[in-house]
Structure 1
């Protein structure tokens, strides 16, 4: 079963609020689960830690993943999501302020579905986050039985 929740993995409270506001402004009313570090993100995905007992067959429609995270960085989170049979097809969009070529290359090598640089301008960020939400929630067709 594929839920319509969004997992936002973001450690910066300002960027978290901006992303939530941008989704709301674009009428993306889906539930958003926020993980503030890589460990929390993996706990959510695999039903461990503070998410122990969560139905892991109900995965988010998309993971919006920052790269620069405490405890476990975003690229390692992506690697671990792709390495597990239960989540290897999970849509993951890297949403980061990093414009490093190396981060983009590693992100795609590890199986990111998309790499989006956070726009600095608020209006551009609103538009970008809204487009992300609409695409991944309404247009994208995940593989069956994942």
Structure 2
């Protein structure tokens, strides 16, 4: 296992990867951007083992990327919501998505990220290709693409 400290490096990429560099962690964050909030819904959407999901959600909460919010009492039930820190991951997640579309989607993008305002597509600059608006997570929606 790699150490979690970087005495010999002063590298923000390495430190950030300690939080979100795991496959399941980043897919949980992606799912949160898609509106998934509850444990069972994450588990259904991702097919991740429950113990792995528990571990990753706990870590994301401890790191301040997600927060647990009670939505039911007796029994207590919680959902997971992105924090400001979590929302700030949106450009990184979208950049990875677009990079994956370019290099690993031979049949075309599995999902199209479109501007809710006009239907234009998300660009690498996180703008709308139709109207030029700067886009954030609340400005877009996903729909099946040709590679779905």
Report the TM-score when normalising by structure 2. 0.28
Q: Kindly name which structure, 1 or 2, has the bigger radius of gyration based on alpha carbons.
A: 2
